[in-house]
Amino acid sequence: MTSQIPCPNCGTPIVIDANLLLAGKRFSCTGCDATVALGAASIPTVSHAVDEFNALRRRIEGGGAR
Protein backbone atom coordinates (compact mmCIF):
# COMPACT_ATOMS: atom_id res chain seq x y z
CA MET A 1 0.00 0.00 0.00
CA THR A 2 1.62 3.23 -1.14
CA SER A 3 0.77 6.69 0.04
CA GLN A 4 2.36 10.09 0.39
CA ILE A 5 3.38 12.06 3.43
CA PRO A 6 4.81 15.57 3.53
CA CYS A 7 8.51 15.81 4.29
CA PRO A 8 8.90 17.11 7.86
CA ASN A 9 11.68 19.44 6.68
CA CYS A 10 10.53 20.93 3.37
CA GLY A 11 6.99 19.67 2.73
CA THR A 12 7.81 17.83 -0.50
CA PRO A 13 5.61 14.72 -0.83
CA ILE A 14 7.46 11.51 0.05
CA VAL A 15 5.99 8.36 -1.48
CA ILE A 16 6.07 5.52 1.03
CA ASP A 17 4.94 1.91 1.07
CA ALA A 18 3.46 1.06 4.47
CA ASN A 19 4.54 -2.57 4.27
CA LEU A 20 8.14 -1.62 3.51
CA LEU A 21 8.04 1.02 6.23
CA LEU A 22 6.94 -1.66 8.70
CA ALA A 23 9.80 -3.87 7.49
CA GLY A 24 12.30 -1.16 8.46
CA LYS A 25 12.88 0.57 5.12
CA ARG A 26 13.72 4.25 5.18
CA PHE A 27 12.32 6.66 2.61
CA SER A 28 14.13 9.78 1.43
CA CYS A 29 12.78 13.15 0.37
CA THR A 30 13.62 14.12 -3.20
CA GLY A 31 13.57 17.78 -2.21
CA CYS A 32 16.03 17.87 0.69
CA ASP A 33 17.25 14.27 1.26
CA ALA A 34 15.63 14.04 4.70
CA THR A 35 14.93 10.44 5.76
CA VAL A 36 11.64 9.09 7.12
CA ALA A 37 11.42 5.81 9.05
CA LEU A 38 9.43 4.25 11.87
CA GLY A 39 10.82 3.98 15.35
CA ALA A 40 10.64 0.52 16.88
CA ALA A 41 8.01 1.63 19.41
CA SER A 42 5.68 2.79 16.59
CA ILE A 43 5.72 -0.45 14.60
CA PRO A 44 2.93 -2.26 16.55
CA THR A 45 0.57 0.73 16.31
CA VAL A 46 1.19 1.29 12.61
CA SER A 47 0.98 -2.43 11.88
CA HIS A 48 -2.44 -2.60 13.58
CA ALA A 49 -3.67 0.44 11.64
CA VAL A 50 -2.54 -1.06 8.32
CA ASP A 51 -4.25 -4.36 9.17
CA GLU A 52 -7.50 -2.55 10.04
CA PHE A 53 -7.33 -0.49 6.85
CA ASN A 54 -6.80 -3.59 4.73
CA ALA A 55 -9.73 -5.36 6.44
CA LEU A 56 -11.99 -2.37 5.78
CA ARG A 57 -10.88 -2.23 2.14
CA ARG A 58 -11.67 -5.94 1.72
CA ARG A 59 -15.16 -5.42 3.20
CA ILE A 60 -15.83 -2.46 0.91
CA GLU A 61 -14.55 -4.25 -2.17
CA GLY A 62 -16.64 -7.28 -1.26
CA GLY A 63 -19.78 -5.19 -0.79
CA GLY A 64 -19.91 -5.86 2.96
CA ALA A 65 -19.57 -2.28 4.23
CA ARG A 66 -22.63 -0.57 5.65
Per-residue pLDDT of the chain (66 residues; tens, 9 = 90+): 788 999 999 999 999 998 899 999 999 999 999 999 999 999 999 999 989 998 999 999 987 655
Residues in the chain: 66
pTM here is: 0.70
pLDDT for the residue numbered 66: 52
pLDDT score recorded for residue 5:
94
Dihedral of the CA atoms 40, 41, 45, 51 (nearest 10)? Answer: 20
What is the per-residue pLDDT for 63?
73
